[in-house]
Amino acid sequence: MENDENDENDEHDENINNIVKEEWYCYILRNKQQRYSHLTYNGSTNNPKRRLRQHNEEIAGGARYTHGRNGGWEIYALLTGFIDHKNALSCEWRIKHTNGKPGKRPSNHLGVVGRIVGLNEILKLSKWTSKCLVENKDVNYRLYIAEDMAKYINNNDLPDNIDVISGIPEF
């Protein structure tokens, strides 16, 4: 009888170890159309390909802000490595509120380049928000950045746990 219980425990432990942790992303979008080229949007997702299709109105969903602009949205910054959904949501909030307060971002953090300038600042923070339980230094992050935007990332000031990769992955 005792052996049966041990076998069940071993099987349970093995099943827990086989659970794949879901990967979460924070992204920043820009619009490729000349008419909307000044617009940006940021969010978080566990499926960037699906989410981008939603923003471009190829499938249902997406944010109201990105709709009605005839598509044209592309990801130009993609951060991954979050330990869970909550941590990704905290980072998403901080990207939207680079000064840590609700309301408008500082003027130097507006627009396509400004979003990357702001990203440089928040990537150096010890936590995304004061309520985060995780220290950013304890997590390895990967930042994929569009090649034309890589020059705006200040690699020398970023913590060692952030790898910057030029180019956005194909989904």
> The pTM is what?
0.87
* pLDDT score, position 21: 63
What digits encode the pLDDT tens for the residues 57-100?
A: 999 998 999 999 999 999 999 999 999 999 999 999 999 999 99
Cβ burial, residue 138 (10 Å; 0-12/13-18/19+) = exposed
Tell me if residue 119 falls in helix, strand or coil. Answer: helix
40 touches 111 (CB < 8 A): yes
* pLDDT score, position 171: 78
Q: Determine, yes or no, domain membership for 128.
A: yes
Q: Determine, yes or no, domain membership for 148.
A: yes
Q: Determine, yes or no, domain membership for 13.
A: no
- Averaged confidence pLDDT in the chain: 90
Q: Determine, yes or no, domain membership for 10.
A: no
The total of structural domains in the chain comes to 1
For 134, the domain range is: 21-166
More confident residue, 11 or 127: 127
What digits encode the pLDDT tens for the residues 14-51?
A: 444 444 568 999 999 999 999 999 999 999 999 999 99
